[in-house]
């Protein structure tokens, strides 16, 4: 079934549901609004009025309940269209695989390995890349998924039905049954509240993430390992990747930055939930294997190692004794059943209670005890059995361990410094620690690190906030002593500014007994911090105490770069360039000091937060910055859109892995993998001409100046932002456990989190963080340097970083919509302020669009991506009614008297539905 046919089918079923469950009047209203929106889009000048004025009048005449129903219909339509597009994408991949076989599909692991072989990468060079290979996805609960989990699960069932309907050999009765199921699911979707009615707890977010781990990643990660191994067997026989080269981590339950709901008790419960999922899933695997692996010892005798293992386990439970008696010649079945029983016993362990108590304990099972018999079986079994489900079980143990995903820990540098300062005062060591300058703090910390740890009581006379921070460090020490070091990822310091921030964490870890092997990761997320990062890392590496600590960390030094806050600080162009420069210089510093580096990319879903195609971003990184190791966050709606099913997850994972392999070999990729840049024209990431760097400096500086002039220096900009976007309503949405602002009650650009900042501008179709300042930067360079346009065109043709940057900006410009944004600007009470700021934004939008098209040789945005361009154009008439409804509801809400009322609550409910719908229509939130 073609995409248009699928969308038509879904639209027809939705129309039928509206007629059956609501009324012909609702259906007629929705159809009239849709027709007016399409007519408005077809007008030569949509801003001038015509159908747009009639559309606004029609929506203004709707009572609030009918407006909510219409918004719900358009929102549900986009949910269904998105499912259809995802299914079509997978179907295209299947067709491509069939048509190209035995050649690999585009952007696959097989294609990457085949390409590297064709470019002359020798086996010993590939072995070097593989020896360093480490790819880690970090799942976060950043609140950008605006839909309920209930809605998402129903949408997944619709996807499964569409996949079944696509089969060509369906009996009429089978098709009829599937259509009935589709009708049921869409009816259930219509009757289900789209928005959450209460804010989720941290543990709710943990359970949602564990769903993805257990239902999707548990199958997908081992299959990606198999894809890589098969590609190596074909092109580099004999080479194998490390056992744990592909891993998962999570921030949920460990990310304290600005979230008072994440406590030591919550972190302990998170660890319990992680371990519970892993142990139960492994138990089910072993139980199933014990049923299937009915190998007789008359065919394959037990090895001495396995015989000895069984002899040590003679004290069998009644169930295991029954298996031994019933299947006396099948000891392998007994071994696997015994492992399943061990895991069943371990699942009874109240991990959270153990972690929060002070009693001595030890874990009931460890990874090595489970792996040893599986490895011994693999050595004696024939290949067909050893490399089937048994091998997959081993890989799942190796990849997920007994915790499913490592739990990262994150806290803000200011909070950490305050917590340390309170204890230093209580111990009469330093009364004014927080007031000391960076150098004085560093010197004090170095002295303390050279001394024995003082005795610390469980409550050393500090504030509850500081006591909670110290409780975390004690929890780390206890958890690692009982369950091993693998349950935790790195300790990340948000807003890290200086070496004292890192040394302070090291001291706190030393004093609580958890320093050894604890990766301490500075997160650089402002322009200034990114500029200072290389010097800070060099200073750290010169300190013997820190080098001694690094020697205990098997994975070396990790450094995190933040895309969201750097964008909010310096704008789109400066943020991207500052991150690029910082990576280059940090790589150089680590090379000078012989330190193994992993760069951790804190990316979000939108271009403003580091989004865009991940594989293209990886290939656009500076030389030496990947080197086999790549770590990135997958957040909110990105997690749902990329990993809602195993096929989608496999496609996204293989694109990431393929790009990491090519980037690590530092051989420019062919064709579309680097946006059709011919290999002979590409510049090496390590040899960017100095003139290009100077021009980028000039351009990014001018861009940052224009951005900050608008956002930080324009009088009344804050008032404009609050009035011309649904910011306040987004802050009230119960979509995450974390407050929208680092300082609750404070609304300022510097204090609001990057997610509501981007979310609010995306909803109002300004999409300002994804492009503003780019036009000013480009124009400044073009005015200063005659012939600069030809140079920029050469950059686009030859420099993957600039090409990726410009393509992402073009996508942001295309998703922005100034006629719709003008509706939001009309909400600003101060008309003079509104017209002045909106005029500045419009001018910069035209400037950026003009120069992007000039550099790319286009006459309209996205001309080189006709499929995506058409998709956005087709979606706009369906998104527009949601924006019109949102603007009308905001206008009514703001006209009400101060205070809460039934009318205000009803209006907010409709606004929440429009926020959901616009996010689905644009396939982006924050």
Q: Which residues are catalytic?
A: 142, 568
State the residue for tokens 């500014």: 497
Q: What is the rounded CA–CA span in Å between residue 253 and residue 811? A: 34
Please give the Cα distance from 213 to 270 (Å, whole number).
14
Identify whether the C-beta of residue 670 lies closer than 8 Å to the C-beta of residue 628.
no
Closest CA to 868 of 800, 815, 804, 915: 815
Can you state the angle between helices 218-235 and 389-400, rounded to 10 degrees?
110
Three-class DSSP category at 489: strand
Per DSSP, what are the bridge partners of residue 134? 629
Return d(Cα 104, Cα 230) in angstroms, integer: 12
Q: Is the dihedral of CA 256, 259, 263, 269 positive or negative?
A: negative
C-alpha torsion sign, points 17, 20, 26, 29: positive
- Distance from C-alpha of 711 to C-alpha of 709, rounded to nearest angstrom: 6
Contact in structure between 695 and 781 (CB atoms under 8 Å): yes
Residue among 563, 556, 550, 468 nearest 508 (CA): 468
The CA radius of gyration of the chain, in Å to the nearest whole number, is 29
561 beta partners: 524, 601
- Rounded to whole angstroms, how far apart are CA atoms 728 and 513? 44
Measured distance CA(755)–CA(635) in Å, rounded: 11
Q: Which helix or strand (DSSP H or E) is residue 587 part of?
A: helix 572-593
**DSSP letters for 354-418:** HHHS-S----S--HHHHHHHHHHHHHHS-HHHHTTHHHHHHHHHHHHTTTSSEEEEEEEHHHHHH
788: three-class secondary structure by DSSP: helix
How far is the C-alpha of 483 from the C-alpha of 355, rounded, in Å?
Answer: 10
Burial of 570 (0-12, 13-18, 19+ CB in 10 A): buried
Is the Cβ–Cβ distance between 329 and 296 less than 8 Å? yes
Token digits of residue 609: 């937060």
Collapse the DSSP code of 520 into the 3-class scheme (helix H, G, I; strand E, B; otherwise coil) and give the result: strand
* CB of 338 closer than 8 Å to CB of 332: no
Q: Within 10 A of 628 (CB to CB), how many other CB atoms are there?
A: 21
CB of 21 within 8 A of CB of 183? no
H or E element that contains 763: helix 754-763
β-pair partners for 411: 493
How many other C-beta atoms are found inside a 10 Å radius of the C-beta of residue 213?
A: 21
DSSP class of residue 133? -
Closest to 728 (Cα-Cα) out of 882, 879, 915, 563: 915
Q: What angle do CA 486, 487, 490 make, to 5 degrees?
A: 80
- Tell me the CA distances in angstroms from 676 to 658, 667, 796, 800, 809, one per residue in order: 16, 14, 11, 10, 18
Judged on CB neighbours under 10 Å (0-12, 13-18, 19+), 691 is exposed
DSSP state of 714: S
């Amino acid at each position: 079934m073609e995409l248009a046919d699928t969308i038509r089918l879904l639209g027809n079923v939705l129309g039928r549901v509206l007629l059956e469950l609501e009324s012909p009047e609702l259906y007629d209203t929705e159809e009239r609004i849709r027709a007016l929106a399409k007519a408005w889009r077809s007008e030569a000048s949509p801003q001038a009025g015509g159908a747009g004025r009639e559309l606004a009048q029609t929506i203004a005449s709707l009572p609030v309940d009918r407006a909510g129903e219409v918004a719900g219909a358009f929102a549900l339509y986009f949910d269904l269209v998105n499912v259809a597009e995802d299914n079509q994408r997978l179907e295209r991949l299947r067709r491509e695989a069939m048509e190209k076989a035995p050649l690999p599909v585009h952007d696959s692991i097989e294609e990457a390995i085949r390409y590297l072989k064709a470019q002359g990468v020798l086996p010993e060079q590939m072995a070097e890349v593989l020896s360093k290979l480490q790819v880690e996805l970090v799942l976060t609960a950043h609140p950008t998924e605006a839909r309920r989990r209930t809605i998402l699960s129903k949408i997944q069932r619709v996807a499964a039905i569409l996949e079944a309907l696509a089969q060509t050999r369906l009996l009429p009765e089978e098709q009829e049954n599937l259509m009935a199921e589709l009708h049921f699911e869409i009816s259930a979707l219509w009757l289900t509240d789209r928005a959450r009615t209460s804010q989720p707890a941290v543990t709710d977010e943990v359970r949602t993430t564990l769903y993805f781990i257990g239902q999707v990643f548990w199958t997908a990660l081992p299959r990606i390992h198999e894809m890589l191994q098969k590609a190596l067997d074909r092109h580099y026989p004999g080479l194998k990747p490390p056992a744990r080269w592909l891993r998962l981590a999570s921030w949920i339950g460990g990310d304290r930055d600005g979230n008072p709901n994440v406590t030591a008790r919550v972190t302990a419960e998170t660890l319990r939930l992680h371990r519970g999922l892993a142990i139960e899933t492994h138990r089910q695997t072993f139980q199933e294997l014990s049923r299937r692996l009915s190998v007789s010892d008359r065919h394959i005798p037990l090895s001495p190692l396995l015989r000895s293992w069984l002899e040590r386990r003679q004290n069998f439970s009644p169930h295991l004794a029954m298996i031994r008696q019933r299947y006396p010649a099948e000891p392998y079945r007994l071994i696997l059943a015994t492992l399943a029983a061990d895991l069943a016993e371990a699942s009874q362990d109240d991990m959270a209670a153990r972690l929060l108590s002070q009693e001595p304990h030890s874990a009931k099972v460890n990874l090595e005890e489970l792996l040893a018999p599986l490895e011994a079986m693999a050595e004696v079994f024939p290949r067909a059995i050893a490399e089937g489900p048994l091998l997959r079980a081993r890989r799942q143990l190796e990849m997920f361990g007994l915790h499913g995903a490592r739990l990262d820990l994150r806290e803000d540098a200011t909070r950490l410094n305050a917590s340390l300062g309170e204890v230093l005062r209580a111990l009469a060591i330093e009364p004014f620690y927080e007031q000391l300058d960076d150098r004085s703090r560093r010197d004090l910390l170095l002295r303390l690190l050279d001394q024995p740890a003082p005795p610390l009581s469980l409550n050393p006379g500090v504030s509850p906030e500081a006591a909670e921070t110290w409780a975390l460090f004690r929890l780390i020490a206890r958890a690692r002593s009982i369950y091993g070091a693998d349950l935790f990822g790195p300790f990340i310091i948000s807003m890290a500014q200086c070496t004292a921030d890192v040394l302070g964490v090291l001291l706190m870890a030393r004093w609580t007994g958890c320093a050894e092997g604890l990766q301490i990761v500075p997160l650089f997320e402002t322009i200034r911090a990114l500029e200072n990062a290389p010097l800070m890392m060099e200073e750290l590496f010169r300190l013997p105490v820190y080098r001694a600590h690094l020697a205990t960390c098997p994975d070396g030094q990790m450094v995190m770069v933040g895309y969201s806050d750097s964008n909010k600080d310096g704008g789109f162009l400066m943020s991207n360039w500052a991150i690029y420069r910082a990576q280059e210089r940090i790589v150089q510093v680590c090379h000078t000091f012989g330190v193994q580096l992993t760069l951790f990319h804190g990316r979000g879903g939108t271009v403003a937060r580091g989004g865009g195609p991940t594989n293209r971003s990886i290939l656009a990184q500076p030389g030496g910055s990947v080197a086999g190791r790549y770590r990135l966050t997958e957040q909110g709606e990105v997690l749902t859109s990329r990993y809602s099913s195993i096929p989608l997850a496999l496609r996204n994972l293989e694109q990431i892995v393929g790009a990491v392999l090519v980037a690590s070999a530092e051989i420019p990729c062919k064709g579309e993998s680097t946006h059709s840049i011919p290999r002979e024209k590409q510049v090496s990431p390590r040899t960017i001409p100095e003139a290009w760097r100077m021009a980028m400096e000039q351009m990014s500086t001018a861009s940052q100046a224009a951005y900050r002039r608008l956002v930080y220096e324009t009088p009344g900009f804050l008032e404009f932002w609050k009035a011309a976007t649904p910011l306040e309503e987004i802050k009230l949405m119960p979509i995450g456990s974390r407050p929208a602002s680092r300082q609750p009650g404070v609304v300022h650009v510097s204090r609001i989190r990057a997610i509501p900042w981007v979310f609010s501008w995306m909803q109002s179709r300004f999409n300002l963080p994804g492009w503003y300042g780019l036009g000013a930067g480009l124009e400044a360079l073009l005015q200063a340097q005659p012939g600069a346009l030809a140079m920029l065109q050469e950059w686009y043709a030859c420099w993957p970083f600039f090409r990726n940057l410009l393509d992402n900006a073009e996508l942001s410009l295309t998703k922005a919509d100034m006629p719709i944004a003008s509706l939001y600007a009309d909400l600003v009470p101060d008309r003079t302020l509104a017209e002045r700021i909106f005029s500045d934004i419009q001018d910069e939008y035209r400037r950026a669009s003009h120069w992007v098209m000039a550099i790319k040789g286009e006459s309209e945005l996205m001309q080189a991506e006709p499929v995506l361009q058409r998709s956005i154009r087709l979606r706009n008439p369906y998104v527009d009614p949601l924006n019109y409804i949102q603007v009308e509801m905001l206008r009514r809400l703001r006209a009400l008297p101060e205070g809460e009322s039934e009318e205000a609550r009803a209006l907010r409910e409709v606004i929440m539905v429009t926020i959901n719908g616009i996010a689905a229509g644009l396939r982006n939130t924050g």
